[in-house]
């Protein structure tokens, strides 16, 4: 069934490229796939899975006859074109933060809250990469034992900041002899006034600061989690840190369940055999998730499960996934697959 015309805005970027790969690998029922980017990339030839594509400049007319448009070119481009695309008949699956907290726009991780998707949706928001892996790992626990508090610290890969940040890490890593004076012009935040080296460093800033002292990335994690779990009174707090890893976000989670007396074994059992999750948790064999081994994989990996010795409801977990795959492209494609299911079963 090849019935849908698909467009990818930001198709030359880190996430856009992965969306195309996932659409092809998962045999998404697309009649055509249009690659859109900035004027700079118009005419560039792309070859994936034996198929050739030519990148086009994004203009309003790009969305005529498009059924599903994936957006991953930054919030300003989504604000400029997403509503236009919907006016022209497309459903937009947006990977930026432009619409996530709009109460009329569903924010979806299919394994957690696919029930909020409707087949007549206009814009659908894909959550922040760090939020997706956290809620995907916690949903089976929340469902079984209830969840009262989440405190998360992230260890985020540079690919989450786009291809420029990957290039910056690679070029700084090559300046190993002079590591204190490497040049920085992208991270921590492309539009920011100050830049710090990411190679041989850990930067406790992702995105700009809010007047509260939190960064926007931290606030995204807090607010998006409450929206997805439909739990405005859940206690959620975050510290987001960029580390010199190319791909794969890691997260240290501290959680408090609603129930006392749950054992680590019961928590592990709740996570076992859940589609999309892999438990890697065996200290005896030094088995735990690591970013390097999550790269290119679809699953969210969970390990280092431990009970807080001083709190009857407290647990620690370590959660890792490929931020470009489940953290972005795969989740978007899964949303699109669910829309196709909704349309074909109605
Ligand atoms: P381009 O390659 O033409 O600049 P990343 O976040 O990985 O760096 O990717 C950003 C994506 O957003 C790229 O595909 C980039 O295209 C695209 N992009 C940037 N500016 C625009 C624009 N004005 N219109 C459409 N796409 C854009």
pLDDT for position 346: 67
C-beta of 248 in contact with ligand 1 (< 6 A): no
Catalytic-labelled residue, pool 115, 129, 195, 311: 129
pLDDT for position 1: 47
**Mutate which of 8, 16, 36, 37 for ligand 1 pocket (most atoms within 8 A of beta carbon):** 37
Length in residues, the chain: 346
Query: Using an 8 Å Cβ cutoff, are 156 and 246 in contact?
Result: no
Pick the CATH number of 131-323 from 3.30.360.10, 3.30.470.160, 3.40.980.10, 3.40.50.2300: 3.30.360.10
C-beta of 201 in contact with ligand 1 (< 6 A): no
Residue numbers of the chain with a pLDDT score lower than 50: 1
CB neighbours of residue 294 within 10 Å: 27
DSSP state for residue 116 in the 8-state scheme: G
* Domains of the chain by residue range: 4-126+328-345, 131-323
CB neighbours of residue 175 within 10 Å: 15
Concatenating the DSSP letter of every residue in 274-294 gives: -TTEEE--BGGGTB---HHHH
User: Alpha-carbon Rg of the chain, whole angstroms?
Assistant: 20
Q: What are phi and psi of 255, to 5 degrees?
A: -130, 150
Query: Using an 8 Å Cβ cutoff, are 316 and 257 in contact?
Result: no
Collapsing DSSP to helix, strand or coil, 23 comes out as helix
* CA pair distance 67, 346, nearest whole angstrom: 17
User: Residue holding tokens 């790269």?
Assistant: 295
Q: Which residue in 165, 197, 63, 170 sits closest to 123, CA to CA?
A: 63
Catalytic-labelled residue, pool 115, 235, 249, 316: 249
| pTM > 0.95 | yes
- Residue 195 among the catalytic residues: no
- Largest distance between two CA atoms of the chain: 62
Query: Using an 8 Å Cβ cutoff, are 134 and 251 in contact?
Result: yes
pLDDT for position 119: 84
Collapsing DSSP to helix, strand or coil, 74 comes out as coil
**Mutate which of 7, 13, 46, 81 for ligand 1 pocket (most atoms within 8 A of beta carbon):** 13
Distance (angstroms) between ligand 1 centre and the Cα of 37 equals 5
DSSP bridge partners of 94: 71, 125
- Residue 249 among the catalytic residues: yes
Pick the CATH number of 4-126+328-345 from 2.60.120.480, 3.40.50.1220, 3.40.50.720, 3.90.1310.10: 3.40.50.720
DSSP bridge partners of 30: 4
Question: Which residue lies with its CA nearest to atom 14 of ligand 1?
Answer: 10
Query: Using an 8 Å Cβ cutoff, are 71 and 296 in contact?
Result: no
Distance (angstroms) between ligand 1 centre and the Cα of 331 equals 20
C-beta of 164 in contact with ligand 1 (< 6 A): yes
Q: Which residue in 69, 227, 87, 253 sits closest to 155, CA to CA?
A: 253
Q: Which residue in 145, 99, 149 sits closest to 122, CA to CA?
A: 99
C-beta of 19 in contact with ligand 1 (< 6 A): no
CA angle 126–221–190, rounded 5-degree value: 80
**Mutate which of 58, 74, 163, 187 for ligand 1 pocket (most atoms within 8 A of beta carbon):** 74
Q: Which residue in 100, 97, 8 sits closest to 53, CA to CA?
A: 8
pLDDT for position 268: 98
Distance (angstroms) between ligand 1 centre and the Cα of 73 equals 5
* CA pair distance 343, 3, nearest whole angstrom: 12
Distance (angstroms) between ligand 1 centre and the Cα of 319 equals 29
How do strand 30-37 and strand 4-9 relate by DSSP bridges?
Answer: parallel
Distance (angstroms) between ligand 1 centre and the Cα of 237 equals 31
């Amino acid at each position: 069934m090849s019935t849908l015309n698909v467009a990818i805005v930001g198709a030359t970027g880190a996430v856009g490229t992965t969306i195309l790969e996932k659409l092809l690998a998962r045999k998404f029922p697309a009649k055509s796939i249009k690659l859109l980017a900035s004027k700079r990339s118009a005419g560039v030839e792309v070859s994936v899975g034996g198929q050739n594509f030519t990148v086009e400049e994004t203009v309003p007319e790009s969305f005529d006859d498009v059924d599903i448009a994936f957006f991953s070119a930054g919030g300003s481009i989504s604000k400029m074109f997403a509503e236009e695309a919907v006016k022209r008949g497309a459903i937009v699956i947006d990977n930026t933060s432009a619409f996530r907290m709009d109460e009329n726009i569903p924010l979806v991780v299919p394994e957690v809250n696919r029930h909020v998707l409707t087949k007549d949706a206009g814009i659908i928001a894909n959550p922040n990469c760090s939020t997706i892996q956290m809620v995907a790992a916690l949903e089976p626990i929340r469902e079984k034992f209830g969840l009262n508090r989440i405190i998360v610290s992230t260890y985020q890969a540079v690919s989450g900041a786009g291809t420029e940040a990957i290039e910056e890490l690679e070029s700084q890593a090559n300046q190993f002899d002079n590591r204190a004076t490497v040049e920085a012009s992208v991270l921590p935040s492309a539009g920011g006034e100050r830049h710090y080296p990411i190679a041989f460093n850990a930067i406790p800033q992702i995105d700009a600061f809010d007047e509260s002292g939190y960064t926007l990335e931290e606030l995204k994690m807090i607010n998006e989690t409450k929206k997805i779990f439909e739990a405005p009174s859940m206690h959620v707090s975050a510290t987001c840190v960029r580390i010199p890893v190319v791909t794969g976000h890691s997260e240290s989670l501290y959680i408090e369940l609603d129930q006392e007396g749950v054992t680590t074994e019961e928590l592990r059992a709740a996570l076992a055999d859940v589609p999309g999750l892999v438990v890697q948790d065996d200290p005896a064999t030094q088995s735990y998730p690591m970013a390097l081994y999550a790269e290119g994989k679809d699953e969210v990996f969970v390990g280092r499960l431990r009970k807080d010795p001083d709190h009857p409801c407290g647990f620690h977990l370590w959660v890792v996934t490929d931020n470009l795959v489940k953290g972005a492209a795969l989740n978007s494609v899964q949303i699109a697959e669910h829309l196709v299911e909704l349309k074909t079963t109605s």
